[in-house]
Amino acid sequence: MATYQLAQEALAAEFAARWAEALAAVEARQLAGSLTELETAYTAAIRESAAASYTLSVAFYRLVRALETGRVIGGPGYRPGASLGSLWADFNKATGKRTGSGPREVLPVDIRNPFPAADPAREARRAEESFRHQVADRVAAHERERPAREGSAALDDAELVAWEKEFLESLKTGGSGAGGMLVQDAGRDAVHLALQDDPGAIGYFRATDASPCYFCALMAGRGAVYKSKRTAAFGAHPHCHCQAVPIFSRRYRLATENDRFARMWREFGGGSLADWRTYYARNQ
């Protein structure tokens, strides 16, 4: 599980590095005239890392399912004659690490494809909307403010330089968070939607990173979440590295962090979300 989560984080970081590189190639005063090139770089980086996130999640889901049920499921990436050994090989290839291996005996097959089909048009819209909110709209507001700034300072004034630098940094941070969410959503959606459509799955639990926000800690503290219409949404946010881990047996084991957050919630004793946020910050 840790390898899977770290590999998903690495894909988000890969996108963030490409976005930072694209921004670094543009002067602050050239941003308004470079939006087309920046959007192309932003959306292409999301698309490529999101595709890798989807492939990784399918390999993870198929491996976990086979380990828990002794059966392999069809769908993208399925190869006839699959075994635990070949499923481990697929997962290792997707993570770039050798984390496990298994026997070569062919597994029984559930000929079913629960994985959501790629929707390039929807993915493109989400990337375009993210760019508009995180970059284009903010650049427009920045440009409207520029005349007042430049009218009260020389172009090399330290305060003006700091203002430009701070804005570029905010574009990098905001774009990385929103774009990285879309990258990981490709994988999160693959797992979360597959388990809703897979009769062999009973639910999932939320695995967090080492230091999640108060909301993610609360969600992880719920433990196992069983399939229902009410639980059909995962609820990630920018800079969130939580993942849905599918469950195929009542004999599942939660991650240690889930137990820790569940214990914190019990000790908290109830109250508003704002109260929990304060309590969590004080006790994390």
Map the chain to HEC letters: CHHHHHHHHHHHHHHHHHHHHHHHCCCHHHCHHHHHHHHHHHHHHHHHHHHHHHHHHHHHHHHHHHHHHCCEECCCCCCCCCEHHHHHHHHHHHHCCCCCCCCCCECCEECCCCCCCCCHHHHHHHHHHHHHHHHHHHHHHHHHHHHHHHHCCCCCCHHHHHHHHHHHHHHHHHHHHHHHHHHHHHHHHHHHHHHHHCCCCCEEEEECCCCCCHHHHHHHHCCCEECCHHHCCCCCCCCCCCEEEEECCCCCCCCHHHHHHHHHHHHHCCCCHHHHHHHHHHHC
Looking at the structure, tell me whether residues 182 and 238 fall in a common domain: no
Q: Which residue has the tokens 């069809």?
A: 74
Tell me, yes or no, whether 171 and 207 share the same domain: no
Q: Using CA of residue 69, residue 74, residue 80, residue 85, what is the dihedral sign?
A: negative
Q: What is the pLDDT of residue 146?
A: 84
Question: Strand 109-110 vs strand 203-207: parallel, antiparallel, or unpaired?
Answer: unpaired
Considering the domain architecture, whether residues 271 and 251 belong to the same structural domain is answered as: yes
CA–CA separation, 283 vs 277, rounded Å? 10
My answer on whether 139 and 54 are in the same domain is yes
Q: Which domain holds residue 110?
A: 2-198
Overall size of the chain counted in residues: 284
The two tokens of residue 150 are 């430049």
Q: Are 205 and 225 in contact (CB under 8 A)?
A: yes
CA geometry: angle 60, 65, 71, nearest 5 deg: 130
The answer to whether 102 and 88 are in contact (CB under 8 A) is yes
Domain identity same for 189 and 206: no
Of 198, 221, 255, which one is at a domain's C-terminal end? Answer: 198
247-258 in b/e form (b: 16+ CB < 10 A) is: bbeeebebbebb
* Angle 207-213-214 from CA coordinates, rounded to 5°: 100
**Single-letter amino acid, residue 77:** G
Residue 147 and residue 108 share a domain:
yes
Given pLDDT bands bounded at 50, 70 and 90, which one contains residue 67?
Answer: very high
- The number of beta carbons lying within 10 Å of the beta carbon of residue 222 is 14
Q: Are 176 and 45 in contact (CB under 8 A)?
A: no
Residues 267 and 168 both lie in one domain: no
Domain-terminating residue out of 169, 198, 227: 198
How many domains, the chain? 2
Q: Are residues 35 and 130 in the same domain?
A: yes
Cα–chain center distance at 172: 17
pLDDT digits (tens, 9 = 90+) for 147-180: 877 776 555 688 888 888 999 999 999 999 999 9
Give pLDDT, residue 152: 65
pLDDT digits (tens, 9 = 90+) for 220-231: 988 888 876 555
- Which of 155, 174, 198 terminates a domain? The answer is 198
- Do residue 217 and residue 191 come from a single domain? no
For strand 243-247 and strand 109-110, is the pairing parallel, antiparallel, or unpaired? unpaired
Residues 6-11, mean pLDDT to the nearest whole number = 95
Same domain (yes/no): 255, 181: no
Q: Are residues 126 and 51 in the same domain?
A: yes
Query: Are 190 and 164 contained in the same domain?
Result: yes
* pLDDT tens profile 69-82: 999 999 999 999 99
Confidence (pTM): 0.91
Instruction: Indicate the range of 29-33, 111-115, 234-238 predicted with least confidence.
Output: 234-238
Average pLDDT over the chain, rounded to an integer: 90
